[in-house]
């Protein structure tokens, strides 16, 4: 099945499917989890590099349907060639006319246009991908593919509603969240945006994963990584609202303003107070290396059933304790994430636990943790890519010490 010719056919087919296939590639092979067999991982990575654009006539149809036949009157200029494509849409440069602009001036904007019928195709496309993966018996049963597919289906349905994304952009821009924090830049949204076309302020910056950023002076790289890890902790334990897509292109560094610009809020998720109370209890237990408490809170969160064998239980607890290493009181600070660091060794140890958990896991992880773990691991991977050295324990203390559990 995995001949080069067949892989090319699969890549071509999945690339045309756009949303489901691209999302599954992001969902199951996020950067460095090594949970997928190499041949499957190879397919999804190639799919992500082969995103298709809409032909011009189709883009025109979407814009007319969403914004009206005179949509172009709102813009001084509109670049018809997209500068980026994602799993469910593509993005264009444009200049909003002063008469339509919220500032009363001409403003550069990014226009995100959804692929037609993408929302309606999610279920059938995911069914096709599931058939492909199960027919080849390529995935271990411990991945619980049915649950993964269902969570993906729900997340993709949310992301297809650009009005929802616009709402989250507004919330992040509020004084309660990041509106008063000059270290971050969140774009404003044009009020004429719809659920299929999102027009937002163009923000300057370079992707934090770009070679020009990874070549910056150590102090600047430390600052970028520190902000993103801090933001993760604040999203979890202050906002209970998190942009969960760790793709490095969603974080832009502007060296002149010293700001991290945040873009693409489609994958934003909210967490209940009950879940976050329990999850923080678990993470605190892991940081204290309290194995009994780790097991108790894992059971309460439904990470485990209580019927697991000793191998599975130990692998799960070991992984949690390793993950919490940057936040332990016993961990020397500042903490290094680069090659040859303690974190590099920890990732090897965590990876070694994955086959055990995939073999003996009795229940899929809690739904909330799919997105949460994706973002947290993505933040750590970014810090590693930047070779950052940051005081993670201080960041942890500043955020977590202010947390109030429900009694």
Are 309 and 360 in contact, with CB atoms under 8 Å apart? yes
Q: Which residues contact 78 (CB under 8 A, 6 or more apart)?
A: 72, 92, 94, 95, 111
């190499």: which residue's tokens?
A: 38
Tell me the C-alpha distance between 137 and 141, whole Å.
9
Q: What is the pLDDT of residue 39?
A: 60
Are 298 and 304 in contact, with CB atoms under 8 Å apart? yes
Q: What is the pLDDT of residue 213?
A: 93
DSSP at 365 = P
- Of 161, 138, 116, 155, the C-alpha closest to 26 is 155
- Of 170, 65, 62, the C-alpha closest to 116 is 62
Q: What is the pLDDT of residue 175?
A: 92
Are 288 and 327 in contact, with CB atoms under 8 Å apart? no
Count of CB atoms situated within 10 Å of the CB of 69: 9
- Of 92, 50, 94, 56, the C-alpha closest to 75 is 94
- Per-residue model confidence as pLDDT tens digits over 153-204: 888 888 889 999 999 999 999 999 999 999 999 999 999 999 999 999 999 9
Are 299 and 306 in contact, with CB atoms under 8 Å apart? yes
All structural domains of the chain: 4-52+119-159 (no CATH), 65-114+164-200 (3.30.200), 205-407 (no CATH)
- Can you say how many angstroms the Cα of residue 192 is from the centroid of all Cα atoms in its chain? 27
- What residues of the chain score a pLDDT lower than 70? 1-4, 6-52, 132-143, 407
Sign of CA dihedral 211, 213, 215, 218: negative
How large is the C-alpha radius of gyration of the chain?
Answer: 22
Are 235 and 276 in contact, with CB atoms under 8 Å apart? no
- Of 85, 169, 161, 166, the C-alpha closest to 122 is 161
The verdict on whether 49 is a catalytic residue reads no
Tell me the C-alpha distance between 44 and 21, whole Å.
8
Regarding beta strands 259-262 and 184-185, do their DSSP bridges make them parallel or antiparallel, or are they unpaired? Answer: parallel
Q: Please pick, among 158, 204, 210, 245, the residue that the annotation labels catalytic.
A: 245
Q: What is the pLDDT of residue 12?
A: 66
């Amino acid at each position: 099945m995995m001949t080069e010719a067949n892989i090319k056919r699969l890549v071509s087919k999945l690339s045309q499917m756009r949303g489901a296939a691209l999302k599954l590639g992001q969902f199951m092979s996020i950067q460095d989890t090594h949970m997928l067999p190499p041949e499957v991982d190879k397919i999804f990575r190639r799919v992500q590099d082969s995103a298709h654009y809409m032909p011009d006539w189709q883009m025109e149809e979407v814009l007319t349907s969403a914004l009206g036949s005179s949509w172009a009157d709102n813009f001084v200029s509109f670049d018809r060639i997209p500068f980026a494509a994602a799993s469910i849409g593509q993005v264009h440069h444009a200049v909003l006319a002063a008469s339509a602009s919220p500032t009363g001036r001409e403003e550069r904007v990014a226009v995100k246009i959804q692929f037609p019928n993408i929302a309606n195709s999610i279920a059938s496309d995911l069914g096709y991908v599931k058939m492909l993966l199960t027919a080849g018996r390529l995935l271990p049963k411990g991945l619980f593919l049915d649950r993964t597919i269902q969570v993906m289906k729900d997340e993709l349905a949310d992301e297809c509603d650009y009005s929802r994304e616009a709402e989250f952009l507004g919330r992040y821009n509020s004084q309660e969240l990041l509106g008063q924090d000059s270290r971050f830049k969140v774009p404003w949204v044009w009020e004429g945006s719809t659920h299929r076309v999102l027009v937002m302020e163009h923000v300057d910056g370079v992707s934090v994963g770009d070679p020009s950023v990874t070549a910056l002076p150590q102090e600047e790289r430390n600052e970028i990584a520190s902000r993103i890890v801090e933001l993760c902790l604040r999203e979890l334990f202050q906002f209970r609202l998190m942009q969960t897509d760790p793709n490095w292109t969603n974080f832009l560094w502007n060296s002149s303003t010293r700001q991290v610009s945040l873009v693409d809020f489609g994958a934003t998720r909210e967490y209940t107070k009950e879940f976050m109370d329990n999850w923080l209890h678990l993470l605190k237990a892991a940081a204290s290396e309290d194995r009994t408490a780790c097991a108790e809170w894992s059971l309460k969160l439904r990470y485990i059933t209580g019927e697991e064998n000793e191998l599975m239980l130990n692998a799960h607890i070991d992984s949690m304790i390793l993950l919490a290493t940057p936040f332990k009181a016993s961990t020397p600070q500042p903490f290094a994430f680069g090659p040859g660091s303690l974190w590099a060794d920890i990732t090897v140890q965590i990876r070694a636990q994955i086959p055990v958990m995939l073999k003996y896991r009795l229940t899929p992880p809690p739904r909330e943790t799919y997105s949460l773990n994706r973002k947290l691991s993505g933040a750590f991977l970014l810090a590693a890519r930047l070779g950052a050295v940051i005081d993670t324990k201080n960041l942890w203390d500043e955020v977590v010490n202010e947390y109030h559990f429900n009694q």
